[in-house]
Amino acid sequence: MTQPPPTLSARRWSVVAIAGAMGGYGLTLGLTHPLLSLILEDQGYSSTLIGLNSAATFVGVLASAPLIPPLVRRLGPSGTMMAAIGLTITMLLTLPLFANIWAWFGVRFVLGLGINTLFVVSDAWILEAASEKTRGRTIGFYASVIAGGFALGPVLVAMTGIEGWTPFVVAALILAVAVAPPMFLARRAAPDLGIGLPKGLFTMMAAAPTLMAAAFVIAFFETAATALFPVFGVQLGFSFGIAALIVAAVGAGEMAFQVPAGMLSDRFDRFRILFVCALVGFAGALAIPLVISIPILFWPLLFVWAGFIMSIYTVAVAQVGARFTGTELVTAISAISILYGAGGAAGPALTGVAMDVFGPNGLPWTLAVLCGGFAVLIAIRHREIFQRTG
């Protein structure tokens, strides 16, 4: 039986629901990484162990990727997202219940299953609904919502402190109100993402290696920044509140840059934009240790630097939407989420080791290597970007 077309009201709720899901995804990462890292830092754990604990979320992301396409075919987009939001809220409330670093490895793994499902289905829903002419700015808008949630998380930490249940309960309530009711009302507007036979995940990775690498870079950056910038700040003598606000400054820059980046990606070669973003990421990371003691330079640098790096996500996802549709689109986003999970696991783990070996500057130095390597990959695989004009 053919499903009736969605009403105008359902389509409007669809916009609200996807924005809520994206913001909830960013909020969950933006809250849990700095909050749990600060708690563990206060308990005396090493940067390496803090980074490994943060990486557990992204091991869950990796594990969830092959499960999402069949889940979407069985439950539909809205049903899958409702299940994911329930799992995410449950895990947020489980974290303070079992306030133990060893228990957190397991809880954060399951949390990764929930938030990655939100990420994959939301991205596929947006890309399927967006037109080619406005795809970049549409993705830019939703990326700015992710960044807004990402920035709100550490602000909540600064407001509530790191003791007790309060930050976890507040985050769970925000997530429940922002996502569940709009998603229920938008269920008729969900696109059909379960038609056709998808390519395999690894075939999809081989088809778009630069876009897959972009997912690795963004996840590495986001998780290293959220988990270890607070530790970076504390080790340099900042208070817990100011250290958490470093992550908020990063999130604010990410939020501000995404719509302009998306608009540019609708007009210009996307791989050229990716190359510029990677170069700015490289240079900005090297500059951080030079300006850390100069607030008038440090805070604006964080803002601009993070905005360029996050734009890699917006531009890369817009390009994915230009290449794939339907079930292949879900599979492509799932494949991206595998690289995202790998980057998310590697980011805090490798950066934590670098900070233990080289001190606080191990964080920006590691991110410089990350962005520089991505720029080299683009230059090798897309040499034509240096030959085109306009």
pLDDT for position 6: 47
Q: Judge whether 351 lies within some domain.
A: yes
Structure tokens at 18: 């996807």
Q: Which of 81, 123, 69 is nearest to 318 (CA)?
A: 123
Q: Residue 331 and residue 327: Cα distance in Å, rounded?
A: 6
Q: Does residue 366 have a pLDDT over 90?
A: yes
Q: Residue 216 and residue 90: Cα distance in Å, rounded?
A: 27
Count structural domains, the chain.
1
Quick one: pLDDT band at residue 10, thresholds 50, 70, 90?
Answer: low
Q: Does residue 367 have a pLDDT over 90?
A: yes
**Residues of the chain above pLDDT 90, percent:** 13
Q: Does residue 272 have a pLDDT over 50?
A: yes
Q: What confidence tens digit (pLDDT) does each residue in 300-321 have? A: 998 999 999 988 988 888 887 7
pLDDT for position 275: 93
Q: Does residue 12 have a pLDDT over 80?
A: no
Give the length of the chain: 390
State the Cα angle at 22 between 201 and 131, rounded to 5°.
70
Say whether 164 sits in a helix, a strand or coil.
coil
Burial class (CB in 10 A: 0-12, 13-18, 19+), 174: buried
Quick one: pLDDT band at residue 4, thresholds 50, 70, 90?
Answer: very low
CATH number of the domain that residue 358 is part of: 1.20.1250.20
Q: Which of 140, 145, 114, 112 is nearest to 127 (CA)?
A: 140
Dmax (CA) for the chain in angstroms is: 65
Q: Which of 230, 250, 226 is nearest to 240 (CA)?
A: 230
pLDDT for position 389: 45
Q: What confidence tens digit (pLDDT) does each residue in 61-71 have? A: 878 877 887 88
Residue 99 CB partners (closer than 8 Å, separation 6+): 39
Q: Which of 1, 385, 9, 368 is nearest to 186 (CA)?
A: 9
Q: Which of 320, 352, 130 is nearest to 208 (CA)?
A: 320
Q: Judge whether 3 lies within some domain.
A: no
The Cβ-side half-sphere exposure at 257, using a 13 Å CA radius, reads 22
> How far is the first Cα of the chain from the last one, in angstroms, to the nearest whole number?
49
Q: Does residue 281 have a pLDDT over 90?
A: yes
Average pLDDT of the chain, as a whole number: 79
pLDDT for position 368: 94
Greatest mean pLDDT among 96-105, 114-123, 142-151, 226-235 lies in 96-105
Give the Å distances, CA to CA, from 81 to 56, 113, 117, 172, 337. 21, 12, 7, 15, 16
Q: What confidence tens digit (pLDDT) does each residue in 174-185 have? A: 878 777 776 677
Q: Does residue 102 have a pLDDT over 50?
A: yes
Q: Judge whether 2 lies within some domain.
A: no
Residue 268 CB partners (closer than 8 Å, separation 6+): none
Average pLDDT over residues 69-75: 80
Q: Does residue 390 have a pLDDT over 50?
A: no
Average pLDDT over residues 75-96: 86
Whether the Cβ atoms of residue 93 and residue 126 lie closer than 8 Å to each other: no
Average pLDDT over residues 110-135: 78
Find tokens 């629901």 and name the residue: 17
Residue 102 CB partners (closer than 8 Å, separation 6+): none
Structure tokens at 219: 């996840």
- Output the CA torsion 292→298→302→305 (10° steps): -100
Looking at residue 200, the DSSP 8-state letter turns out to be P
Q: Which domain holds residue 356?
A: 8-386
Q: Residue 181 and residue 237: Cα distance in Å, rounded?
A: 43
Q: Judge whether 1 lies within some domain.
A: no
